[in-house]
Amino acid sequence: MEKKILIVEDEFIVADDLQLTLQQAGYQVCGIASSFKEAKLLIESTKPSLVLLDIQLMGEKNGIDLAQELKVKNIPFVFLSANSNQTILEKAKLTEPFGFLVKPFREKDLLVALEIAFYRYEHSFESKWRREHDMRVDLTDIISRKENRRDRLALMARALQKYIPFDCITGILKNKDSGDLSFFAQHRIGFDDYQYIGINELVEMSGEKLSHLTTLLGTGSSSGDVAFQNGDEFRKMLKKNPINALFAKLFGFSSNLELTFNDSHGDIFSLNLFRRKFNGFDQIQLDLLLSLQSTLTFILSDISNEEVSAKVTALIPYGKNQPSKELFKGIIGKSSSLLNVMDLVCQVACLDTSVLLLGESGTGKERIADSIHQLSLRKNKQFIKINCAALPSTLFESELFGHEKGAFTGAIDKRIGKFELAEGGTIFLDEIGEMPLELQVKLLRVLQEREIERIGGRQPIEIDVRVIAATNRNLEYEMAEGRFRLDLYYRLNVFPIYLPSLRERKEDIEELAVFFVKKFCSKFQRPVPIVSEIMLSQLKAYHWPGNIRELENVIEQALVVNVPGTDLALRQPLPRELVKAVEKTEPEEFTAVKTIEEIKKMQRKTEIDYITAVLKETNGRIRGKNGAAEILQEKPTTLESRISKLGIKREDFS
């Protein structure tokens, strides 16, 4: 069947060229619209397979307004744009387009973008079906298991976790005739570990009387309640649901997904998934849970009335494709934000999808990239790492794509590029935000066309490489400033993973500190000291703008000057400005949602404060041993450029 394309573009010449190119390529152009209103009429009458959509249109409503309606109608679309401000880009991103083309573009760019868009659209249905199928198989397998109730509930939690991340799951069964209640909860305390909470454990944790808790459990959700609540909606729900309010207070939850239904006997079963993340759940996850309602009903009805002892049992290994914790070697911590990252890694690793790792410097992006490769089907092939910030622009193309002998002055031999070396494996492009614009175009074409050309080469070379990219920059801001290409961003940002900063996972600081102490004591061949309580409190009070890398340096420095046989303590104080700033800022129970601009200002101020504090410590010295560049683990030229860009003046630190 011929695919129908609707062109929504208010420049006649551009629209006419698009129509000619598409028709020559075998597509049917079912119409050209220049406004929101005209496009809506054509969509209803022609039912296009895909819409090519310019962001800027004639009239009050633009392409983003139309994109929101296309998303509801489940019609794929590709944005066209010459340039846009940051606000427009952020709104465009929320519509989840299937591609993005920056004007001007080649005919081949257009056709490749359409191929990718159709591929992603078709596979989104296949992916949804596969998730449902795999999840149903995992859950059905639990029915035949012989373990006790507690272990089977842990298995159920673990099976759900692979597809719908959560920090806690609770279940309440109310007998329709007697009114008797059966309750359980599985609280996630590690990557593979769940803490069972029954009614007796809940009494102990909450300090409430059994009779009062039983009353609260009986006032839970009504049959037929199906919803997800995030942030403000979650808080409103808590006022009406005291048992959920109790769990939110005990564990600090900020969102939930709720499914209440009748089992085969007419008894009411209420299932709640909780997360600490502010926007933890969405409609896709709710639909997935709804599709498995009959399977969940069978499992929960089967095990809900079994007797349970008070002893917490260990989790039984489960599932053929469940990754071993060993594959996250070197990634330390059990905070919910870190566990969420591990869940996303497990979801995407077995696919060939491009991954974009986001987060501040020192948060462990390279380790996460390595884990994705080790969990993938490409694990026995090459894993090539490239630091885009460290490569001179003159060598970048040769380094990535290679060159033929005699291609340029100094090319005395043929060179195989990194993409060819990574054939069949994975390539990790670290600090992708530092890549010059002229090279971004070439990288985009390689990613889209799956082929490279060596400098001086005559034939394109097909490649099969998975790309993982990482950056500590805000790419939306970089795009708005014209320093990063829109189309490259959308090509890389297929599956973004945000790595939390150390200040967002302070509960992991003690475990990280102990890990680094053991690591350096092994290196120095010294006995392992105990980290003093005073030092731990100091570490937890600090803001850690340098994240895990900075913590590692602090621990190493403390060990170097530590007196053998004594507890480990800080000998060199942490920058006072940041400690004081943290001490004054106590987190509120519920913080207001901040705009992207506010968050960027906060991040910029933190970066300025930290760099200024380090420059004060070094008396303004950037280069050389113990200079600011060495402390911050930056190249001196990079740090000087950053200081200039942030507007830091000598009088700020002298």
Write the DSSP symbol of residue 184: E
Residues 222 and 162 both lie in one domain: yes
CATH code at position 166: 3.30.450.80
Q: Which of 498, 524, 550 is the last residue in one of the domains?
A: 498
Residue partners of 620: CB distance under 8 A and separation at least 6: 650, 653, 654
Instruction: Indicate if 380 and 267 belong to the same structural domain.
Output: no
Q: Is 156 inside any structural domain?
A: yes
Distance CA 263, CA 469 (A): 46
- Domain contains 112: yes
Token pair for residue 160?
Answer: 């759900």
Residues 6+ apart with CB under 8 A from 385: 366, 369, 428, 430
Asked if residue 155 and residue 48 are part of one domain, the reply reads: no
| pLDDT score at 591 | 38
Sequential DSSP letters for 597-617: HHHHHHHHHHHHHHHHHHHHH
Whole-number pLDDT of residue 604: 63
Is 310 part of any domain?
A: no
Residues 538 and 451 reside in one and the same domain: no
- Among the residue ranges 421-425, 447-451, 478-482, the one predicted with the least confidence is 478-482
Residue 224 has pLDDT above 60, yes or no: no
Q: In this prediction, what percent of the chain has a pLDDT beyond 70?
A: 87
How many alpha carbons lie under 13 Å from residue 263 in its C-beta half-sphere? 22
pLDDT given for residue 528 in this prediction = 92
597 and 527 both lie in a single domain: yes
Residue 129 located in a structural domain:
no
Q: Could you give the residue ranges of the DSSP H alpha helices within 350-450?
A: 365-375, 393-401, 418-421, 437-449
Residues 177, 249 within the same domain: yes
Please report the pLDDT score of residue 422 as a whole number: 94
* Residue at 208 is within a domain: yes
Cα separation, 543 vs 602, whole angstroms: 13
Give CA–CA dist 389/430, Å, rounded: 8
Render pLDDT for 147-159 as a digit per residue (tens, 0 to 9). 777 788 888 888 8
Average pLDDT for 422-445:
90
Based on the number of CB atoms within 10 Å of its own CB, is 455 exposed (0-12), middle (13-18) or buried (19 or more)? middle
Residues 337 and 475 both lie in one domain? yes
Of the residues 445, 466, 498, which one is the last residue of a structural domain?
498
Tell me how far apart the alpha carbons of residues 181 and 305 are, in angstroms, rounded to a whole number: 10
Determine contact, residues 591/254, Cβ cutoff 8 Å. Answer: no
CA of residue 568 relative to chain centroid, distance: 35
Query: What is the model's pLDDT at position 493?
Result: 83
State the pLDDT at residue 264: 65
- Taking phi over 0 as left and psi of -120 to 50 as alpha, with beta for the rest, 513 belongs to alpha
Q: DSSP readout, 552-585?
A: HHHHHHHHHHPPTTS-B--SSPPPHHHHHHHHH-
CATH of the domain at 362: 3.40.50.300
Q: Is the dihedral of CA 203, 206, 211, 214 positive or negative?
A: negative
What's the pLDDT band for 126 if we cut at 50, 70, 90? low
Percentage with pLDDT > 90 across the chain: 30
Instruction: Please give the pLDDT value at position 225.
Output: 72
**pLDDT over 50 (residue 319):** no
In this structure, are 57 and 88 located in the same domain?
yes
| C-alpha to C-alpha distance for 281 and 278, rounded to whole angstroms | 9
Strand partners, 182: 173
* Within a domain: 135: no
Q: Would you say 315 and 193 are in contact if contact means Cβ atoms under 8 Å apart? A: yes
Distances (CA, A) of 477 to 18, 205, 613: 30, 45, 26
Query: Residue 566 maps to which CATH number?
Result: 1.10.8.60
User: Which range is least confidently modeled, 20-24, 85-89, 408-412?
Assistant: 85-89
| 203-232 average pLDDT score | 81
The reported pLDDT for the residue numbered 606 is: 65
325 confidence band (pLDDT: 50, 70, 90): low
The CA distance from 160 to 24, in Å, is 48
CB under 8 Å to 524, separation ≥6 — which residues? 559
**pLDDT per residue as tens digits for the range 504-541:** 999 999 999 999 999 999 998 889 999 999 999 989 98
pLDDT at 441: 86
3-state helix vs strand vs coil in the chain, percent to 5? 50, 15, 35
* Same domain (yes/no): 519, 473: no
Secondary structure letter of residue 201 according to DSSP: H
Alpha-carbon Rg of the chain, whole angstroms? 28
How many other C-beta atoms are found inside a 10 Å radius of the C-beta of residue 6? 23
193 in the same domain as 97? no
- pLDDT recorded at residue 485: 86
Phi-psi domain of 538 (left: phi exceeds 0; alpha: psi -120 through 50; beta: other): alpha
Degrees to nearest 5, angle at CA 348 with 342 and 353? 145
Task: Give the model confidence (pLDDT) of 583-637 as tens digits.
Answer: 444 333 333 444 445 545 555 666 787 788 778 777 788 887 777 887 776 777 7
Residue 31 lies in a domain: yes
Contact (CB, 8 A) for 197 and 187: yes
pLDDT value at position 77? 94
pLDDT for residue 315: 36
Rounded (5°) CA angle 606-610-614: 175
Measured CA distances, 121 to 124, 128, 285 (Å) = 5, 11, 18
In a domain, 320, yes or no: no
Among 477, 498, 519, which residue terminates a domain?
498
Q: How does pLDDT run across 534-560, given as a tens digit for each residue?
A: 999 989 988 898 899 999 999 998 998
Summarize the confidence of residues 575-587 as an average pLDDT.
48
Collapsing DSSP to helix, strand or coil, 187 comes out as: strand
Residue-wise DSSP of 506-560: GGGHHHHHHHHHHHHHHHHT-PPPPBPHHHHHHHHHS--TTHHHHHHHHHHHHHH
Higher pLDDT, 305 or 85: 85
| 496 SS3 class | strand
pLDDT tens, residue by residue, 30-63: 999 999 999 999 999 999 999 999 988 888 898 9
If asked whether residues 261 and 343 sit together in one domain, one would say no
615 vs 174: CA distance, rounded Å: 64
Average pLDDT for the chain: 82
Domain containing residue 600: 508-652
Same domain, 518 and 481: no
Looking at residue 371, its pLDDT comes to 93
Total structural domains in the chain? Answer: 4
Euclidean distance between the first and the last CA atom of the chain, given in angstroms as a whole number = 71
Amino acid at 238: L
Q: What is the pLDDT of residue 88?
A: 74
Residues 485 and 433 sit within 8 Å (Cβ to Cβ): no
